[in-house]
Structure 1
Amino acid sequence: MDNQFINLNETNIDQEHLCCIIRSRVAHPGVEAKREWLKNRLKEGHVFRKLDVKGTVFIEYAPVESAWVPILGDNYLYLYCLWVDGEFKGKGYGKALLEYCIQDAKEKKKSGICLLGAKKQKHWLTNQNFVKSFGFDIVDSTPSGYELLALSFDGTKPTFTKNAKLERINNQELTIYYDDQCPFIEQKIMNVKTHCECNHIPITLHHIQSLKQAKDIPCVFNNYAVFYQGKFETVNLLELNMLDKIIAK
C-alpha cells in the first residue's frame, strides 16, 4: 500500500492537490494560503503525506519544537491532522498513514507522538478512539475538557504550555486566533467577519504568523481558537449558527 502514497516536498508542492478542499477549475484562496504556509514548514521537518489521488486522504505532522501549537515535549512529533473521507473510508488508509507516522518517529529516534483531543470528540480533530487503539493515552488536560494524547516510546510525556491552560483573555469581544495551515480557515474568517459587520458584533482577529505567537496562545490551538467575553470557547471553525449561539449565551 505504501506505493500509493506520496510526501509533499519542495519539488512537487506547487503541483500536488492538498486534499482538504476539492476544486476542479478555480483555485481556492485558502488552499493557496496553506500551500505557502506549508512551503516554509517543510524546511522544519513538517510532513504532509497523502494518497496519490484527488481526495481527502492524508496525515500531517511535525516536530513538536517547531509545531505551531502551545505544546511542549522534548523530541516528540505533533500530529496536526489525520483525515480520510468519502469513498476512501474503510480501506485501511487511515491505519497505513498512522503506522507510517509511528515508524517515521521511531526511525528518527523520537520519544513519541502527540495530538490534541477532547473529553467529547470535537469536529476538526483527529478521531481519538482510533488513535487510542494504537496505544495513545491521555497525558494532560485543560479546564475546558481538551486533552493531550500521546504515544510514548520512552516513558516521557509532553504537556500543554502554562498559557494553554489559562483560557482567559482581557478582551471581551468575539476574538479569534487563526493561522494559514487549514485551507478552510480563510473562507471561514471572511464569513464570520462579514456576519459580524452586518450585525454590528465587535470582533478582534489575531492572525498567527510565527512559531512564538502560536506557542504563546492562551488556550489550546490546532490552527484556530475562539474566545467570547474573555472566555475560551472552541477550536472548531465557526459556522454562523454556532457563532450566533455563542453570542446569545
Structure 2
Amino acid sequence: MDSQWIELSPENLKDEHLCCIIRTKKAHPGVEAKRSWLSGRLQDGHVFRKLNARECAFIEYAPLETAWVPVIGRNFYYIYCLWVQGQPKGHGYGRQLMESCLRDARVHGKSGVCMLGAAKQKAWLSDQNFAKKFGFETVDATADGYELLALSFDGTVPQFAPNAKKQAIESQVLTIYYDDQCPYIFQRVETLKAHCAAKSIPAQFIRVESLAQAKSLPCVFNNWAVFYDGHLVTVNQIDGSALDRICKRNG
C-alpha cells in the first residue's frame, strides 16, 4: 500500500490517531486504554492499518492463535474491525483495507482470514455482507444465530471454541465481559455501572485481561458480550436505555 496508509508500530503508537470518532485534544481514558492494550498486542503480530489522517478508516487483525477471541484454528488471520466512517466513505478505502489484509495473509502463507458475523448484522461488528463480496462464507455457527465467517485459501476452516457455543453462564445477574480493544468501552462500562447503581440493578463487569481468558469465554466475543438471566443477549455495546429494554424484555 502507498504512503496514504500507516501501520501502527511500537515506535509510532503513542503519537498516531486511533481512528475512532472520539474528538478531543485531551487525553481520553478509552483511547489510552486502547493504546496500552495495543502495546502488548503488536508484539504478537497484531496489525492496525489506518488512513494517514485524523479520520476513521482502518482495519485491525491478528494471527488467530493470538487473537483475543474464543475462536480456534491454525494459520488464519482474525479481523477484529474494519471501519470506514465519515468523510473517508465513498473513496474505496474499505476495499483497499480488506485487500491489504488478504494480500498480507497470502504473503505470510496463511490458510485464510476469518471474522465474527451473525445471521442478522450486529451494529458493533464489521459489515459481513461486504466481507461476503470477497468470498467469505459461514463456516461455523451458534444456536442463537452468531456465525464465524471465513475465506479459506486451502480448504481448512477455523471454528468457535466449544466453550463459546455455550452462550450461557450460571449467574443470573447482568454480566458484561469486556476488554480494552475498543476505545468506546471504558466510557460504556463507567456509564453502565452508574446506571445500574442508580436503578439498583445487580451487575458484574468482568474485564478480560489475557489471551487464555479470552479463548475460554463462554460465548462469542469480539471485545464485548452481555448476559442477562444467564443467557447471552448481545455482543453490541449498549447504553442505559438499551439495558432497560433488555431488563424489561427478559424480566
* Shorter-normalised TM range: over 0.9
Which residue is 2:146 aligned to?
A: 146
Give the deviation of 1:2 after TM superposition: 2.6
**Are 2:203 and 1:209 aligned?**
no
1:48 Cα shift? 0.1
Q: Hey, what does 2:89 align to over in structure 1?
A: 89
User: Which residue is 2:15 aligned to?
Assistant: 15
Give the Å deviation of 1:26: 1.4
Equivalent positions of 1:135-214 (< 5 A) are: 135-214=135-214
Counterpart-to-counterpart distance in 2, 1:123 and 1:231: 19
Q: Which residue of 2 aligns with 1:126?
A: 126
1:242 Cα deviation after fit: 1.0
Extract unaligned runs of 5+ from structure 2.
Answer: none
What letter is aligned with 2:101? C
What RMSD over aligned residues (CA atoms) do the two structures have, in Å? 0.8
In structure 2, distance between residues paired with 1:29 and 1:91: 31
User: Partner of 2:58 in structure 1?
Assistant: 58
Shift of 1:23: 2.3
The one-letter amino acid of 1:188's match is R
Q: Which amino acid in 1 is paired with 2:94?
A: G
User: Which secondary structure state, in structure 2, belongs to the residue aligned with residue 43 of structure 1?
Assistant: helix
**Alignment partner of 2:3: what SS?**
helix
Residues in 2 aligned to 1:60 and 1:205: alpha-carbon distance in whole angstroms? 25
The SS at the match of 1:209 is coil
Residue identity in the other structure for 2:227: F
Q: TM-score, normalised by structure 1?
A: 0.99
Amino acid at match of 1:35: R
Matches within 5 A, 1:97-136: 97-136=97-136
Match of 1:78 in 2: 78
* Range with greater deviation from structure 2 (19-28 or 179-188): 19-28
Cα distance in 2, alignment partners of residues 160 and 52 from structure 1: 34
Which residue in 2 is equivalent to 1:229?
A: 229
- Unpaired runs of at least 5, structure 1: none
Give SS of 1:81's match: strand
Output one character per residue of 1:82-112: Cα deviation in whole Å (capped at 9) or x when no partner: 0000111110100000000000000000000
Alpha carbons 1:21, 1:184 under 8 Å: kept: no
Fraction of identical pairs, as percent: 58
* Alpha-carbon distance between aligned partners in 1 of 2:22 and 2:34, rounded to the nearest angstrom: 14
| One-letter code aligned to 2:135 | G
* Deviation per residue, 1:19-68 (Å, 9 max, x gap): 11332321210000000000110000000000000011000000000000
Contact 1:45–1:63 at 8 Å: present in 2 too? yes
What letter corresponds to residue 71 of structure 2 in structure 1?
Answer: I
What TM-score comes out, normalization by structure 2 length? 0.98
- Segment of structure 1 superposing worse, 22-31 or 118-127: 22-31
Deviation by residue 1:149-200 (Cα, 9 ceiling, x = unmatched): 0000000010000011001100000000000000000000000000000000
- Contact 1:34–1:182 at 8 Å: present in 2 too? yes
Aligned mates of 1:3, 1:101 — CA distance in 2: 16
Hey, what does 2:4 align to over in structure 1? 4
Kindly provide the amino acid, as one letter, of the partner of residue 36 in structure 2: E
Q: Which secondary structure state, in structure 1, belongs to the residue aligned with residue 53 of structure 2?
A: coil
Cα distance 1:112–1:227, how it changes in 2: closer, same or farther (>3 A)?
Answer: same
